Amino acid sequence: MTNANEVFGQTLVKSLRGERGHIPIKRALSDIDFDLAGKRIEALPYTIYQLAGHMLYWQRWFLEHLEGEQPQMPKDAMETWPSEHKPADEGAWKKIIEELLLGVDRACDFATTVQLDDPLEHWPSESKAGILRNMASHNSYHLGEIVLIRRLFGAWPPPGGGYPA
């Protein structure tokens, strides 16, 4: 019989990657090009690029906690969003997506290798499982916004379809 840590770890992996609940994060992001990333819709407060940058900011923050570091909370929520609406170039955009996906992989490694109910070193009221769940929820929330923006631009579904695998 498997233990609860292993079972919950696998559940967290599915949440982090987007399995079953929605399209996997990799499939939803990998084909977005530079132009689409910075395309604006007047009624929306941000672009896909800004959403991905915001996701990356918090993902780094969560992972730093898991690595035993003590990241500082931003003084203002706007610090967590890129001010520019598009990436500098295609290479910069690809680096953001690559870092986001590598961060998800790192989080999945944590989910399957740590004692999930252990508290964080610099945030003892929060568990490792809690921070991983928070990261999964945050990414999932903003991934839904990215999917909606893609739909508004007629850039959905991605190759292979838009249904969860």
Report the pLDDT value the prediction gives residue 83, as an integer from 0 to 100: 96
SS3 120: strand
Of the CA atoms within 13 Å of residue 3, those in its CB half-sphere come to 7
Q: Tokens at residue 29, please?
A: 């992001």
The confidence score (pLDDT) of residue 2 equals 59
Rounded distance, CA 67 to CA 115, Å?
Answer: 13
What pLDDT does 71 receive?
Answer: 96
Position 165 scores a pLDDT of 56
Structure token pair of residue 74: 């931003």
> According to the model, what pLDDT value does residue 124 have?
95
Positions in the chain short of pLDDT 50: 1
Q: Which domains does the chain have, with CATH numbers?
A: 4-152 (1.20.120.450)
CA distance linking residue 2 with residue 151, whole number of Å: 41
Predicted confidence at residue 162, as pLDDT, reads 80
Q: Provide the pLDDT for residue 163.
A: 76
- Per-residue pLDDT reduced to its tens digit, 54-73: 999 999 999 999 999 999 99
Q: Output the pLDDT for position 164.
A: 66
pLDDT value of position 1: 38
The predicted structure's pLDDT at residue 136? 97
